[in-house]
Chain A
Amino acid sequence: MNFLIISLIKAALVAFVLLTTLAYLQWIERKVIAHVQLRVGPYRVGPHGLLQPLADVVKLITKEGLIPSHVNHLFYLLAPFAAVTLALISISVLPFGPEIKIGPVTTWMQLTDLRIGILFVLAVSSIGVYGVALAGWASNNKYSLLGGLRSSAQMISYELPLALAIAAPLLLANTLSFRDMVNYQSGYWLGFIPRWNVFPEILGFIVFMIAGFAETNRVPFDLPEAENELVAGFHTEYSSMNFAAFFMAEYANMVTVTAVATLLFLGGWQPPFPEPYSDFVPILVFAMAGLVALYHGLNPARRMDKFTLPATALVFLGIAAIFGLSLFVPMAKIILMALFWFCGKVLLLLFVFIWVRATLPRFRYDQLMRFAWTGLFPLSMLNLLATSLVVALTTP
């Protein structure tokens, strides 16, 4: 019974945080792209457009959900449901931190640990293509169908290098569980280089990230929804919450891919510096951000700056103070440090996703396929063979 209650609390917490992150990820994306292109991005709803996601959600919920008359009803409605469910489900096996103890309760910062967790994520992502493919087919529209076809072909092709890139760190760690994978990456070479898989497996990491872009249908591989050839691709005929479901699925897939990359290659919640030094990094980061905001608030460039920037500074300094205080409470320190490093790495990779979207143009379809089969696939195969050789030679 106790297990059930703890699981429910954890599931509610993770679901709430994940869904909020998905909404704000869109705000972050719009802001980052805007600043790359020398615009300001969303600015009207709330300070710096911070309430924009909320407004978008309200808009999408209250819009009329149109169902075109020429679609296949069952599959048309099933597709967004399948897409968003399969996108959200992977989070249940991803660990965010080590084992923690709150009062009498001992639990892991993870919903559940499967012995085959990595295979589970692969399985879920491999079925995830049905959402897009079905949407394209059920819409009964040539552009949607082309989008659906492209997405299935693309995801089958890029799943190969993705799986082969994942297999190399699995060989090193000799496990299929995310928890053991992160534990394997703890510790430091020569006392300061973290034992993350990204150093021996740099090739695998790069292949994984590129294939991850294709798996999530992101620029430069967003052929399924290429708007200058296919209107909006597979979700042309969708409106209201059905459309929002595809949007959510895309962002949830992005979070999953970056979280898996963090866990497999970047050491999960393990800090990049040895223990006593890494504790001061979050305090330093947040305090610096707070002080910079405070400085600009005291020398305001615009009229509202003398109110908004000190308020922001207060928030940052408050977070820095919380991290500082947590140094004296061992359990709070473990939780906060794990969350800081895990979320930091995931956010960094998400930033790379957005950065690439703002930078690179879209591939042509034949380029996309040639790149997967003649570039990434042999590369990941080579990486796997080299890793196997090293593992075979070093293990007794």
Chain B
Amino acid sequence: MTALIFIIFAGLAVFCGINLVVQTHPIASALSLIGVMGSLAVLYLQLGGEFIAAAQVIVYAGAIMVLFVFVIMLLNAGAEATTFQVSRFVKYLGAILLAAFLGLISLVIQAELPATEGVLFGSFQGTALDVGRKLFTTYLLPFEVTSVLILIAIVGAIVLARKEV
């Protein structure tokens, strides 16, 4: 059952990821990205990282992507026009090169990755309590530094967007 759900949502994530690149319309691409994030949230949930899954949906799908869609709608961006013609030769060669590239990557991963027992479903300790503990003990410094970084980004954005008075 868990394996089946994993296959469904992993497949969905890959499909949405490909769709994101293939689609010419910005809104369709943005929605595909939301699909990827939703599928990833399900995978996190399966691993036991329930808080991470919820945060993924709230922050990425619910806040950041809404902003993306908002901007696309505001600019009223239309479908992207294809300006170049691709010859048949390039298409075939590209397919072969892509296959070779993927094979190379999987070979490297196979060779380099240490033989572990793999990750089990639900083995990850990801309740809100655990994540909170870790954030405020082990990872306190990176956490605070990241917040300061984001604060700087926000202040910078306001300074850049400010109207000249």
Please give the residue numbers on chain A whose beta carbons come within 8 Å of chain B beta carbons, in ascending order: 75, 114-116, 119-120, 122-123, 126-127, 129-130, 133-134, 136-137, 145, 148-149, 152-153, 155-156, 159, 176
Contact = CB atoms under 8 A, between A and B. Distances in A.
Contact of A116 (B54, B61, B66): B54
A371 B48 CA distance: 39
A134 B74 CA distance: 12
B42 to A, nearest CB: 12
Interface of B: 27, 31, 34, 50-51, 54-55, 57-58, 61-63, 66-67, 69-70, 73-74, 76, 127-128
Contact of A130 (B34, B51, B58, B74): B34
Contact of B58 (A114, A123, A134, A176): A123
A116 B67 contact: no
Given A115-B127, A119-B128, 10 more contacts: A75-B31, A119-B51, A119-B54, A123-B61, A130-B34, A133-B69, A149-B70, A149-B73, A156-B63, A156-B66
A133 B66 contact: yes
Contacts of A127: 34, 57, 61-62
Contact of B73 (A119, A120, A148, A159): A148
A123 B62 contact: yes
Given A119-B54, A126-B61, A127-B62, A176 B70 contact: no
Given A119-B51, A156-B63, A126 B70 contact: no
9 contacts: A75-B27, A116-B128, A119-B51, A119-B58, A120-B54, A126-B62, A126-B63, A130-B31, A130-B69
B117 to A, nearest CB: 27
B34 A145 contact: no
B70 A152 contact: yes
B57 A123 contact: yes
Contact of B66 (A122, A130, A136): A130
B51 A126 contact: no
Nearest to B41: A123
A389 to B, nearest CB: 16
A136 B76 CA distance: 12
Contacts of A116: 50-51, 54, 128
Contact of A159 (B50, B51, B63): B63
Contacts of A133: 66, 69-70, 73
A126 B65 CA distance: 10
A122 B56 CA distance: 12
A133 B66 CA distance: 9
Given A149-B73, A152-B66, A159-B63, A126 B54 contact: no
B69 A152 contact: yes
A155 B58 CA distance: 13
A129 B54 contact: no
Most buried by A among B51, B57, B76: B57
Nearest to A117: B54
Contact of B67 (A119, A137, A156): A156
Contact of B50 (A75, A115, A137, A148): A115
A149 B73 CA distance: 7
B156 to A, nearest CB: 19
B58 A126 contact: yes
A145 B50 CA distance: 35
Contacts of A137: 27, 69, 73
A156 B57 CA distance: 14
Contacts of B66: 126, 129-130, 133, 152, 155-156
Contacts of B62: 122-123, 126-127, 129, 159
B69 A153 contact: no
A136 B73 contact: yes
Given A129-B66, A148-B73, A153-B70, A176 B128 contact: yes
Contacts of B31: 75, 130, 134
Most buried by B among A75, A116, A133: A116
Contacts of A122: 54, 58, 62
A119 to B, nearest CB: 4
Nearest to A82: B31
Nearest to A148: B73
A153 B73 CA distance: 12
Nearest to A125: B62
Contacts of A145: 73, 76
B152 to A, nearest CB: 20
Contacts of A136: 73
Nearest to B128: A176
Nearest to A120: B54
Contacts of B34: 127, 130
A216 to B, nearest CB: 16
Contacts of A155: 66
5 A-B pairs closest in CB distance: A126-B62, A119-B54, A123-B57, A152-B70, A123-B58
Nearest to A152: B70
Nearest to A75: B27
